[in-house]
Structure 1
Amino acid sequence: MSSSENKRIAKNTLFLYFRMFLMMGISFFTTRIVLEHLGVHDFGIYNVVGGMVSMFALISAALTSAITRFLTYEIGNGDKQSINDTFSASVSILLLLVLIFVIIMEPCGIWFLNNKMQISPNRIIAAHWVFQCSIVTFGINLISIPYNALIVANEKMQAFAYISLLEAALKLGVAFMISIPIFDSLKMYAVLLMIVAILVRYTYGRYATAHFQEIKLHICMNIDKFKELLSFTGWTCIGGSASILNNQGVNILLNVFWGTTVNAARGIALQVTTAVSSFSSNFMMAV
């Protein structure tokens, strides 16, 4: 590995660690404010109900890694048409996954929410708001994956870090806004986080289309490309599914047996776990 490559990896790693440390600080502070304004029970509801959907974010991370791998390979080959086909095929696959996810989660998630989870009857409507907003948020984040992967594959870690910090800052603003007593705080929190996801998705899309002009979204009919992407991402999702059962599966069991107060404590613990695991994952992203 040449000296210039080592320097590039070090530079990208520094950007990602700079992003990570700032996001950790903002995230911990945001959690404290949200817990204060929502209260223990509503905070627990958001963690377990939103977690039923956000647990699939681990699959999003696996898909980002897989799609980045394919885009990086095509960028190395320098074939612009192949890069464009890979990007468009990725978007098509993720749109299909969003459709499947919604079809499965709407009936199954609502049934489980109404019949199995320990939530106060007077907060069940708010819990449904959280669930629906979380589904929309997850779908938006899933569709953003090819744009995120394109930025990472082109090693634009500075932009990736800045957009992530914008997202953290917007979430901090949401935490302060729910203190205004104009609407149910839990419902307002879910809706505002959904709006933040839409804004961040728009920012990633605008950056990618402005800086990578060779990317033109189109209907990709390359069957071999679809098979290759689906095969690799399918195996990648198996590891992500195991992590889901390890993290959020426990959260659901805690709710079934002990209720939302324990979920609130678990939510704070997961914040710390995520922060610690970020040290290794950010370095691997740069490599």
Structure 2
Amino acid sequence: MAEQSTNKRIAKNAAALYFRMIVTMLVGLYTSRVILQALGVEDYGIYNVVGGFVSMFSLISGSLQGAVGRFMTYELGTGNTKKLKNIFSTSFYVMMGLSVLIVIITETLGLWYLYNRMVVPAERLQAAFWCFQFSVVSFVLSLLSTPYSSSIISHERMSVYAYMSIFDAVLRLVICYAVMVSSIDRLVFYACLLFGAGVLNQFIYWIYCRRKFTECHMSFVFDKDLFKQMFGFAGWNFIGSSAAVLRTQGANLLLNAFGGPAVNAANGIANSVCTVVSSFVNNFTQAFNPQITKQYAAGEYESLMKLLIYGSKYSYYLMFILALPVIFNAHYILHLWLGIVPEHTVTFTRWIFVFLLAESISRPIITAKNANGHIRNYQIVVGGILLLMLPISYVGLKMGMPVTFVAFVNALTAIMAIFARMYMLRGDFPCWSTRIYYKEVFMNVIIVSVVASIAPGLSYNLLPEGLINFIFTSTFAVISSCMSVFYVGCSKVERELIIHKSRQAINTFKSKFVR
């Protein structure tokens, strides 16, 4: 019964998050096109690299954010309410101190880099300065809201994000229209409006958490022992956070140095496309991530092993079904969507999808390792592999490789990290088996991917580029990937369960809507 209740909760949260994703996807695709046309390629690239530079400072905060979420979810699994309150108050004071530190760093080192090292046309430096300032304040506000957002995820109140997405979508559409009709500097105005929307969203989350969760009420508590535990966890997690931030924002700076704002625009558009598609998988993993931590805290290791296998497999499947048509038809889709497609955007998009496919396998393992708390060796090994992306990319660019080499190295190191993560999870709980995970997940998804790519690959290469090619290749990609997942990727028991659940859903729909 407990496992059944858990599965229902995961399904309910996944459904709410998918609703959130659909709204975000539709609005995101529309606004990206309009904003690119309203700002132009150069200003779009400037906003991407300036905002990315500020986000790079999340390598300082990301480790603490991960620690807050892990400790909150763990204590919910053990049922220790008093310690949960202490975690919230202590983490809030830590974020306040960190915010002051980041403001000092960005307003000194950050401004120096903006004026002396960043490739920005001289006539757009003032606009870049204001984008920088709005980005800094927005980043600080997001830090202060970390304990509140961690509470929502830990309590598995995913429906809150679904409701907020409608509100956020309306705000972004208003911002899009305002920028289009604006007579003032559109780049600065766009950054200002995004800042205002972020403030309003964070305020609503703050009100909700204070009303719904007892731990989200500030008290003058700073638990030194708890701070040491959190800081110890965050200290080693810093390596992983650094790798995650530097491989995206550090790559942005490399691309700016070797290619300028136009290349940043191409990379930014590719990331926008992949963010929309990856939101499908993010919603799925976010729904069961709290259960991974809670099952570990409760010692339910056999159920945890099953959840890791299913989570990794189906995270990849969801991403693959969406990614395969885009990988083959990236050129046509981008031209149809944007009209103006900066050079290198297609190649960036394809390699970033390969990176996301690799990451989709790893997400459940990352959550399980964080739940264990023993992350020193894990972060040194995995973080070190991921950080190789920057020096390898730099050397390649210096030797004359194309700017898309950065995206290739990013994907390559992500694949290498999968094997390191599988190896580093040994001994964390009794039921873990690297051999079983490798067979049931990694080899499984490789075979599924190869089989599914045959039909769309033939269609893409045999038909002339255009609408007919797009229709046939996309159709073959979706059908072949679904059939490959169902007949090759799923076991007999899993296929029977999918058929049973599908029939139940059809019967429910008929009983409610068909007379």
Q: 1:64 to 1:11 in 2, by over 3 A?
A: farther
Which ranges in structure 1 are unaligned for 5 or more consecutive residues?
A: none
State the Cα deviation string for residues 213-235 of structure 1 (Å, max 9, x = none): 45321222310111111122232
Q: Equivalent residue for 1:106?
A: 107
Q: Equivalent residue for 1:115?
A: 116
* Paired residues of 2:63 and 2:235 also in contact (CA < 8 A): no
Distance in 2 of aligned mates of 1:102 and 1:230: 21
Q: Equivalent residue for 1:222?
A: 223
Shift of 1:62: 5.6
Distance in 1 of aligned mates of 2:232 and 2:165: 29
**Amino acid of the residue matched to residue 21 of structure 1?**
I
Q: Equivalent residue for 2:173?
A: 172
Which ranges in structure 2 are unaligned for 5 or more consecutive residues?
A: 289-515
Shift of 1:35: 0.7
State the Cα deviation string for residues 57-86 of structure 1 (Å, max 9, x = none): 577666444322211222334333322111
* Paired residues of 1:63 and 1:145 also in contact (CA < 8 A): no
Query: What secondary structure is seen at the aligned counterpart in 2 of 1:178?
Result: helix
Shift of 1:121: 1.1
Shift of 1:172: 2.8
Q: Equivalent residue for 1:3?
A: 4
Matches within 5 A, 1:170-249: 170-249=171-250
Query: What secondary structure is seen at the aligned counterpart in 1 of 2:181?
Result: coil
**Amino acid of the residue matched to residue 257 of structure 2?**
V
Q: Equivalent residue for 2:137?
A: 136
Are residues 1:159 and 2:145 paired?
no
Query: What secondary structure is seen at the aligned counterpart in 2 of 1:182?
Result: coil
Q: Equivalent residue for 1:286?
A: 287
Query: What secondary structure is seen at the aligned counterpart in 1 of 2:145?
Result: helix
State the Cα deviation string for residues 80-125 of structure 1 (Å, max 9, x = none): 3322111011111111221111111211111111111221111100
Distance in 2 of aligned mates of 1:127 and 1:227: 39
Shift of 1:263: 1.1
Are residues 1:254 and 2:265 paired?
no
Matches within 5 A, 1:77-96: 77-96=78-97
Distance in 2 of aligned mates of 1:280 and 1:59: 26
- After the TM superposition, which of the residue ranges 205-214 and 150-159 deviates more from structure 2? 205-214
Q: 1:6 to 1:58 in 2, by over 3 A?
A: farther
* Paired residues of 1:87 and 1:146 also in contact (CA < 8 A): yes
Distance in 1 of aligned mates of 2:209 and 2:119: 43
* Higher RCO structure, 1 or 2 (CA under 8 Å, sep 6+): 1
Distance in 1 of aligned mates of 2:262 and 2:130: 19
Q: 1:191 to 1:33 in 2, by over 3 A?
A: same
* Paired residues of 1:42 and 1:186 also in contact (CA < 8 A): yes
Q: Percent identity?
A: 44
Distance in 1 of aligned mates of 2:156 and 2:62: 17
* Paired residues of 2:57 and 2:102 also in contact (CA < 8 A): no
Shift of 1:56: 4.4
Distance in 2 of aligned mates of 1:230 and 1:105: 23
**Amino acid of the residue matched to residue 198 of structure 2?**
A
Q: How many residues align?
A: 287
Shift of 1:30: 1.2
Are residues 1:72 and 2:69 paired?
no
Q: Equivalent residue for 1:41?
A: 42
State the Cα deviation string for residues 156-201 of structure 1 (Å, max 9, x = none): 1101232244334322321211112332111111111111111011
Q: Equivalent residue for 1:32?
A: 33
Q: Equivalent residue for 1:273?
A: 274
**Amino acid of the residue matched to residue 210 of structure 1?**
R
Query: What secondary structure is seen at the aligned counterpart in 2 of 1:221?
Result: coil
Q: Equivalent residue for 2:493?
A: none
Query: What secondary structure is seen at the aligned counterpart in 2 of 1:39?
Result: helix
Distance in 2 of aligned mates of 1:57 and 1:34: 25
Distance in 1 of aligned mates of 2:215 and 2:144: 19
Q: Equivalent residue for 2:18?
A: 17
Q: Which has the larger radius of gyration?
A: 2
**Amino acid of the residue matched to residue 223 of structure 1?**
K
State the Cα deviation string for residues 233-278 of structure 1 (Å, max 9, x = none): 2323321211222111111112122211111111101112323443
* Paired residues of 2:88 and 2:215 also in contact (CA < 8 A): no
Q: 1:223 to 1:283 in 2, by over 3 A?
A: same
Shift of 1:11: 1.0
Query: What secondary structure is seen at the aligned counterpart in 1 of 2:180?
Result: coil
* Paired residues of 1:34 and 1:175 also in contact (CA < 8 A): yes
Distance in 1 of aligned mates of 2:60 and 2:21: 20
Distance in 1 of aligned mates of 2:8 and 2:227: 35
Query: What secondary structure is seen at the aligned counterpart in 2 of 1:219?
Result: coil
Q: 1:37 to 1:104 in 2, by over 3 A?
A: same
* Paired residues of 2:51 and 2:131 also in contact (CA < 8 A): yes
**Amino acid of the residue matched to residue 78 of structure 1?**
G
**Amino acid of the residue matched to residue 194 of structure 1?**
F
Q: Normalising by the residue count of structure 1, what TM-score does the alignment of the two structures yield?
A: 0.93
Q: Normalising by the residue count of structure 2, what TM-score does the alignment of the two structures yield?
A: 0.53
- After the TM superposition, which of the residue ranges 202-211 and 238-247 deviates more from structure 2? 238-247
Q: 1:214 to 1:103 in 2, by over 3 A?
A: closer
